[in-house]
Amino acid sequence: MHQRLLFFAYAFILLLTVGSSSFPIGVIYGAPALVPVNEQNEHHVVELNSKMPYIAGFHVNADDLSQRENVNATAVTVSFASTEPFYFPPDSWLGCGMFVQAQDHFFHNVDYGFYMMLVLNSSGSLFVDAGLHQTEEETLPIQTANSSLVYSYTWLIKNVDISTPIKLSQTWLNSNSVRYSISVSGFELVLGDCNVVAMPNCKNIIPKFYVGNVVIDQFPFSRYINYFQFGIVSNKVINDAHWQADIQNPMMLRNKGWAYVEKAWLLEGDHSFLDHDLMWGGTVYPGITVRPYLQQSQSLYEMTFRYTGNESANNMTIWNVPSSGNAQAGYGTENQDLTVASRRLLPIIAVLLGGTMLIPFLLIRRKTIRNIPNRARTSTSH
C-alpha cells in the first residue's frame, strides 16, 4: 500500500514538472519534420536586382579577386539565436543562407543563380527555401539584362527551435540533378533531388557550382562577380535589435574533399553581383553590424549579423586563414558572349544592317547605269 502511494506521488510530481516546462514535449523530444508548402505567398523568392535589403560574406580565392573554380557542392550552417520574430514588421521574413552561381557551356552570357536559405517569418514559423534563377546579361542594343525564376520550393520545418543550428547543403549528384538536404539535431533530411537539366532552357548548364571571383570592371569602377555568397536577405528592413542571424562554416566540395572557406570578405547588396549585370537582393541592408569569430582548433568559422544602427564597412575582411593549397587553378577574367535572345535576333539584325548599307549603294549604281546611254548619245551628236 505504501509502495503504491509512493509511486503515485512520484508520478504526480513528474506531471507537475512536465507541466511547468516552458517548451512543449514535442519540440524537445520530437524528430524534425518537413512539410512541403504549396501556397505561393509562402515562397520567399530572392528577387534579383530588387529592393530587397541584402548583406553577405563571400568566398575569396585571391586578393585581386581574379580567380575562380568550380566545385561539386556548397554548404553552410545557419541559425537565429536571441531572436524574437514577433518584433518583425508585419508580413515580413528574414532569410539566412547561401547564394551560388553556375554557368552555361553553350551561351557564355547565360548564368544560373542557386539559393538555399533558412527563413523565419514574423509569426515565428521556420522554413527552408531552395530555388534557381536563370539570368541573361546585357547585350546592347539587342537586349537589357533580365532573369527568370526556374523553380522555387519551400518546406515548413516543425519540431525545431529557431535557435537550433541547421546545416544547409546543395550537391550535384550527377550531370543532371542537384540534391537539397539539411542536417539538424543529428538528423539528416533530404528535401529532394531536382533535375535541373530537364528544366526549360537549362539543358546546357554546367553541372558544377562556381566559387571565387572574377573582375568585370577594373578600377575606378571596381566591379566583381563573387560566385559563392553567404548572408542575409529580407523582404523588409528589420530595424530593431531583437534578432540575430548566425552563419557557421561555409564550405565547398572540391575534388579532394570538403574544404572551409578560408578567406571571406563582406559586401552589401548593391555589389552582390552573380553575373555582369544582376545582383542578389540589389540594395544595402542599413544598420547591420557583422561580427566574425574564428576558432580553428574547433573548426569554427562564424559570422553574426545583428541590427545595431551602425553601417558595416564594405569589403571588410571577415577572416583570412592561410590557404591549405587545396584550391583549383583560376580561370582569369570572365568571358563575354551573346545570350539566347541575342543569338536569335542576330541574323535579323545583320540582314537589316546589311540592307541599310546595301540599298544606298544599289541606288547609286542604278542611277549611274541610267546615265550611261545619255552620255553616249551626247558624245555621238558631237
- What are the residues whose beta carbons fall under 8 Å from the beta carbon of 291, sequence distance 6 or more? 303, 304, 306
pLDDT of residue 325: 54
- 302 touches 293 (CB < 8 A): yes
Q: What is the pTM of this model?
A: 0.80
Predicted confidence band of residue 331 (pLDDT cuts 50, 70, 90): very low
Of the candidate ranges 88-92, 237-241, 341-345, 367-371, the one whose mean pLDDT is the lowest: 341-345
Predicted confidence band of residue 42 (pLDDT cuts 50, 70, 90): confident
pLDDT of residue 39: 80
- C-alpha cell recorded at residue 139: 547585350
CB atoms within 10 A of CB 96: 25
Average pLDDT over every residue of 348-363: 65
